[in-house]
Structure formats: C-alpha cells, structure tokens
Amino acid sequence: MDGYDIIGDVHGCATQLEALLDKLGYRAAAGEYRHPSRQAIFVGDLIDRGDGQLRVLEIVKSMVEAGSAKIVMGNHEFNALAYHTEWP
C-alpha cells in the first residue's frame, strides 16, 4: 500500500466522485473502483445536497467491501440515522 486518498463531503455528487476517482488513478473493474496501490478514506458526508446520493453510496459501499476504501461517518449520516431512529 502506497498511501491514502482522503475524500470528504461528496454530498451526493456521484458524477464528480467518479471523475475524482478516475483522476486519482482508481479504475472500475467488475463494478468496483480499485487502485493498484492506494486506498481511499471517505471522511464523512456522502449524502444530502447532490442528486446522486444512491449512486455515491453504491460506489463507496462496493469499495469498502472490496477493501479499496474505508469510511468514517459524517454528521449528515448521523443525522439521517437519528432522524429514522424511533424515540421511545
């Protein structure tokens, strides 16, 4: 492993995320973006604002499952979970 690419605040911008991953040298193979020697660290706020939220989640989830990314929850994910969690 050569190092990490720290990516924050994607905010549903799937097209821009794919362009960024491509620019950083990640390539989509079998539906998953991988880098030959680097790992992406997503530091929160994948959701809200942009119109590609589900696509962003699909991209990042597949990368995490393939071992080519790690993820930290952002305040927007925390708020979404809290919003959908029933208060007793």
Q: Which is nearer to Mn ion, 8 or 25 (CB)?
A: 8
Judged by the rule CB under 5 A, the positions of this chain that interact with Mn ion are 9, 45
Shortest gap between Cβ of 75 and Mn ion (angstroms)?
A: 7
Q: Which is nearer to Mn ion, 21 or 46 (CB)?
A: 46
Q: Are strands 38-42 and 27-29 parallel, antiparallel or unpaired?
A: unpaired
Q: Which is nearer to Mn ion, 41 or 67 (CB)?
A: 41
Token representation of residue 85: 């969690």
Q: What is the dihedral of CA 45, 2, 63, 35, to 10 degrees?
A: 120
Shortest gap between Cβ of 26 and Mn ion (angstroms)?
A: 22
Distance between CA atoms of 85 and 79, rounded to whole angstroms? 10
